[in-house]
Amino acid sequence: MALSCLRGQQSNVIIRVISENELHVVIPLGRSLPMHATADGKVLLSTLSDEEIGQWLTPEPEKLTGNTLGLTALLKQMQAIRRDGVAMDIEEHSPGVSAISILLPTFMGPHAVTVIAPTSRFEVRKEEFRQALEKFREDFKQTQK
């Protein structure tokens, strides 16, 4: 699990929790990840207009895996991401790694809370991860009142 925010024109992991499972994914703290190919990056990009996203990314962002989206496909996803505040990355950044992220508006700007897992575990539990993240967001909103 990771908490990330925008830093410049990249997402930046600022806090992480490492799973106790034998097989787990570890994102280095402070590492900037490509926004077009990660769940946290996509949910953070959703706070921008399509025009701003086009200015931040190249017309053909780097294809990191066979699942990495191009700009046109990414912009098509933005409507649902903006509506739901949820983004997924199914092996778009790294083969064998998938993630789901929620947008968490804070007084310090938008943040993303992300569950990252090996794809084999993620596929079986993605709805459970989504429900847990949405409950966290609702609980967080209650503390902000």
pLDDT tens column, 3-36: 888 887 788 787 665 666 665 566 666 667 789 9
Q: How far is CA 22 from CA 6, 27, 89, 117, 122, in A?
A: 30, 16, 22, 11, 15
Give the lowest-confidence range in 7-11, 78-82, 83-87, 111-115: 7-11
Residue 83 belongs to domain with CATH number: 3.30.450.40
pLDDT of residue 29: 64
> Which domain, by its residues, includes 52?
2-144
In this predicted model, what pLDDT tens digit does every residue of 89-129 receive, in sequence order?
999 999 999 999 999 988 888 999 999 999 999 999 999 99
Q: What is the rounded CA–CA span in Å between residue 104 and residue 94?
A: 24
- Cβ atoms 39, 88 nearer than 8 A: yes
Q: Which residues contact 34 (CB under 8 A, 6 or more apart)?
A: 10, 41, 61, 62, 64, 93
Please state, in angstroms and rounded to a whole number, the distance separating the CA atoms of residues 66 and 109.
32
Total structural domains within the chain: 1
pTM attached to this predicted model: 0.88
Beta bridge partners of 103: 112
